Amino acid sequence: MIKKICFCVLVSCIFTTTIAQNCQFSFNGKISDFHDDSPIIGASIQIEGENKFATTDFDGFFEFQNICAGKYTLIVNHVACETKRVRFNVTENTFKEISLEHHIEDLEEVIVTSTNKTTSNTIQSTKIDRKTIDEFSGESLGDALKNVSGVSSLNTGNTIVKPIINGLHSSRIIVMANGVRLQDQDWGIEHAPNIDINNADRITVIKGTNSLEFGGDAIGGVIVLEPTKYFLKDRIYGKTILGLQSNGKGGNLHTNIVKTTEKGWFYNGKATLKRFGDFHSPNYNLTNTGLNSEAFSLLTGVKKFEKGFTVDYSFINNKIGIFRASHIGNIDDLVTAINSKQPQIIENFSYDIVSPRQEIKHHIFKVDYYQRFKNSGKLEVQYDFQKNERFEFDVRVGDDKNKAAIDLNLKTHAISANFNFDSNSNKTYKVGFKGVYQNNFANPETGVRRLIPDYDKFDAGFFAIGNFILNLKTTFNVGLRYDFNYINAKKFYIKTRWIERGYDTQFNDLIIGDFNTQWLVNPTFRFHNLSASAGIHHYFNDKTAVLFNYGLSSRAPNASELFSDGLHHSAARIELGNLAMQQEVSHRVSATYAYKTSKTKISVEAFFNTIQNFIYLAPIGTEQTIRGAFPVWNYKKTNANLFGFDFTWQQKLNEAFSFSNKSSLIYGYETKNKRDLIDIPAPNFRNSLQYKNENWHQLGVRLESEFVLQQNNFPDNNFSTFLPSQKTIAFVDISSTPKSYHLLNLQTDVVFHLSKKTDLHISATISNLLNINYRDYLNRIRFFADDLGRNYALQLKINY
């Protein structure tokens, strides 16, 4: 406790400036949960020795008027918490955020810490707290993120879930896992983030480009998975989650154990296991859609106020079945599949995962160190190494049956350093540097021509961000970043493809070897990317606030967009990149209107994003080969505009009932060709009605409705092709979108206090309650099968 007071005094010292006797100051503040920043409501605050009291409102805010300059002690009181004191120093109008360790879930004692960070956020961001993360313990990151208005997903079945933020996905989204930018071959549509959601304590979704410290190429946004925060206290605690579900006849088990010491050491081990067999739609089994996943992480370090370090290793091993009937031979099979109302292959339920499948191992190793310097700020340095091994097994025959068709090994080393000048909380600056070396190795043992070549890549980036609290109501933020990318690839091209792509007129000087029917070429690329951001946040009054921001970002084309060339066996299509791709440049403007009272919370977010050289993959027809015809998907570039609205409304109806609505609308089109963009999420609406009884085991019941309209704005890429086996010319409808659908989900949960330190949470969920048949536009298996049918799930969670 003494330590904590010392800590607070130290914080106060940082703020100390000349003191003049003046009693016109206001002291405002916010009490929030240390873990997830959620406001703590109804905390009482007293200034010791003075007859001044305040209570936090629905948003955790409190206010004192007519405060004299001087030193004070604040006494913070909250139900179920011990009384705590914080010292502070008033020299001017002051705003202070006080974080309370208020998680009943893991700590029974409350620790008050004082931070000098501003609450006003000039970026469009949404947080997902640990309770929600725990609900999704058995699912994927992409599933949990759909709780954020404006975030949807691009699926391959239901186990490969790629997040889409405001219509943008893949390389346009940065995933930050525990301070490490995930490098896991995110370019592919069927490559989901290789991350165990249980590793995150809190997830923040940042829309758009205004988070330059993570990167300048996040045209879509950033997903930040934050690790657990540890406290200076001698204790051991943990939690275990067991989930079971009917659809897939499987479950998940997660355990997390933490040991912390008063001296600042912490040790944390986590492990997650998932096993699912074939999932099923309402009418049939979805053969080969099972999932085996193992993940663990080990973390240790020291955390003190002045300095600390972390050593972190995490590993995930995923074996993911890909729906058997989605494997097609040539165009005949595709036409048969599209025209047939149900899958061509339906077998009985099985836990076996055969081909096609993905096997992915991802390792992350990280060390970081920070040190605070008195009266200047905090230095952070970090090194991380990632290794991503990706195998895609296709349905192959003969000797190659058990040989992967794609075998990629991506290694990434990154170092970064940044300094946060935060001694003056009204003007903080952050500058940083990051260097990345990446090597991709495509194993030739597959016997299949490489879709992605061997390459080396170097990145170097510098950024500077300034955050200015102009007055109590207004915060302004500006940032600038420069990134340099260098790619050096060695790639084989079939000579006829080299000519068909027109490279013989542009790039013949890149050829370094002649291998009979193939050229070996050595393309190198240098990209200079500039990104910038500016944002302003303003409170009109205690209920209403607005936020405007602008972001400029540049993204260099990825390996897939540049180099793809050839038959992607697991997708049975020829995918073609383009060496002449240039970087995407995006200008995004957005505005948020937020209204909050004790009963109502409304947020309206609007954005407009105009992107030059927007790169996308779309079908262009077929190519005839000696094996028959294959659909050809080409990476194209265009100028695109996207705009949309995300709407969130939470309403307390009375003490027991509340209602919420999350809706998002988005429209994307090509400016030159006046065509709609492909793969833009359809308008969707999530409504939920919630009942909560705090007096009886915190009983909660939630009925949720998920309504997704048919996407009517899609590009027509349909084509006709001759089918020799059927002796007809067939029309290939590869563009039409599925009908609108409406799902109902019912969830209920209770908490039992087993002992002073042990809680048992039990929740039961029925999803797709009415067992309806539906297909989703953004699921790649929609051509072949219906989506998931009804699922009964039971989850037990013990905190101890």
List contacts with other proteins (CB under 8 A): 329-330, 373, 379, 381, 395, 397-398, 400, 413, 415, 417, 419, 433, 435, 437, 439, 442, 444, 446-450, 453-454, 456, 458, 490, 492, 494-497, 500, 512-513, 515-518, 520, 565-567, 574, 623-628, 630, 724-725, 727
Compute the Cα dihedral for 615, 608, 650, 197 and give only its sign.
positive
Q: Which is nearer to other proteins, 200 or 451 (CB)?
A: 451
Q: Which is nearer to other proteins, 225 or 617 (CB)?
A: 617
From first CA to last CA, the distance across the chain in angstroms is 23
Kindly state the smallest distance separating residue 515's Cβ from other proteins, in Å. Answer: 5
Nearest 5°: phi and psi at 495?
-60, -40
Q: Which is nearer to other proteins, 122 or 418 (CB)?
A: 418
Q: Which is nearer to other proteins, 413 or 473 (CB)?
A: 413
Cβ neighbors of 225 (< 8 A, separation 6 or more) are 141, 175, 176, 177, 178, 195, 197, 199, 200, 202, 203
CA distance 602 to 644: 17
Nearest 5°: phi and psi at 455?
-155, 160
Q: Rounded to whole angstroms, what are the CA distances from 657 to 154, 465, 688, 700, 751? A: 33, 43, 11, 10, 18
DSSP string, 330-361: SHHHHHHHHHSSS-S------S---SSEEEEE
Kindly state the smallest distance separating residue 328's Cβ from other proteins, in Å. Answer: 10
Kindly state the smallest distance separating residue 425's Cβ from other proteins, in Å. Answer: 21
Q: Which is nearer to other proteins, 42 or 329 (CB)?
A: 329
Kindly state the smallest distance separating residue 529's Cβ from other proteins, in Å. Answer: 19
Kindly state the smallest distance separating residue 519's Cβ from other proteins, in Å. Answer: 10
* Contact assessment for residue 452 and residue 440, using Cβ atoms and an 8 Å cutoff: yes
Q: Which is nearer to other proteins, 231 or 719 (CB)?
A: 719
- Letter for the amino acid at 602? I
Q: Which is nearer to other proteins, 517 or 758 (CB)?
A: 517
Kindly state the smallest distance separating residue 623's Cβ from other proteins, in Å. Answer: 6
CA distance 39 to 57: 9
Q: Which is nearer to other proteins, 209 or 412 (CB)?
A: 412
Q: Which is nearer to other proteins, 491 or 588 (CB)?
A: 491
Residues facing 760 on adjacent strands: 752, 798
Q: Are strands 699-708 and 719-723 parallel, antiparallel or unpaired?
A: unpaired
* Contact assessment for residue 760 and residue 314, using Cβ atoms and an 8 Å cutoff: no
Kindly state the smallest distance separating residue 397's Cβ from other proteins, in Å. Answer: 5
Nearest 5°: phi and psi at 258?
-125, 135
Kindly state the smallest distance separating residue 221's Cβ from other proteins, in Å. Answer: 28
Cα 87 → chain centroid = 38
Kindly state the smallest distance separating residue 759's Cβ from other proteins, in Å. Answer: 44
Kindly state the smallest distance separating residue 340's Cβ from other proteins, in Å. Answer: 14
Q: Count other C-beta atoms under 10 Å from residue 105's C-beta.
A: 17
Q: Which is nearer to other proteins, 421 or 707 (CB)?
A: 421
- Residue in 615, 624, 616, 592 with CA at minimum distance from that of residue 605: 592
- Residue in 578, 558, 576, 557 with CA at minimum distance from that of residue 566: 576
Q: Rounded to whole angstroms, what are the CA distances from 276 to 159, 191, 295, 352, 356? A: 10, 19, 15, 9, 16
CA distance 260 to 231: 7
Residues facing 573 on adjacent strands: 568
Q: What is the dihedral of CA 79, 85, 91, 95, to 10 degrees?
A: -30
Q: Which is nearer to other proteins, 42 or 513 (CB)?
A: 513
Q: Which is nearer to other proteins, 454 or 706 (CB)?
A: 454
Kindly state the smallest distance separating residue 512's Cβ from other proteins, in Å. Answer: 8
Tokens representing residue 710 in the block:
């048919």
Kindly state the smallest distance separating residue 495's Cβ from other proteins, in Å. Answer: 7
Kindly state the smallest distance separating residue 40's Cβ from other proteins, in Å. Answer: 36
Cα 171 → chain centroid = 12
Kindly state the smallest distance separating residue 557's Cβ from other proteins, in Å. Answer: 21
Q: Which is nearer to other proteins, 466 or 566 (CB)?
A: 566
Tokens representing residue 569 in the block:
């066996």
The residue written with tokens 């010791």 in the block is: 48
Tokens representing residue 645 in the block:
């609205």
Q: Which is nearer to other proteins, 373 or 657 (CB)?
A: 373
Q: Which is nearer to other proteins, 269 or 621 (CB)?
A: 621
Report which secondary-structure segment, H or E, holds 133.
Answer: helix 130-135
Q: In 202-288, which ranges are E strands?
A: 202-207, 221-226, 235-245, 250-260, 265-276, 279-280, 285-286
* Contact assessment for residue 635 and residue 96, using Cβ atoms and an 8 Å cutoff: no
Kindly state the smallest distance separating residue 516's Cβ from other proteins, in Å. Answer: 6
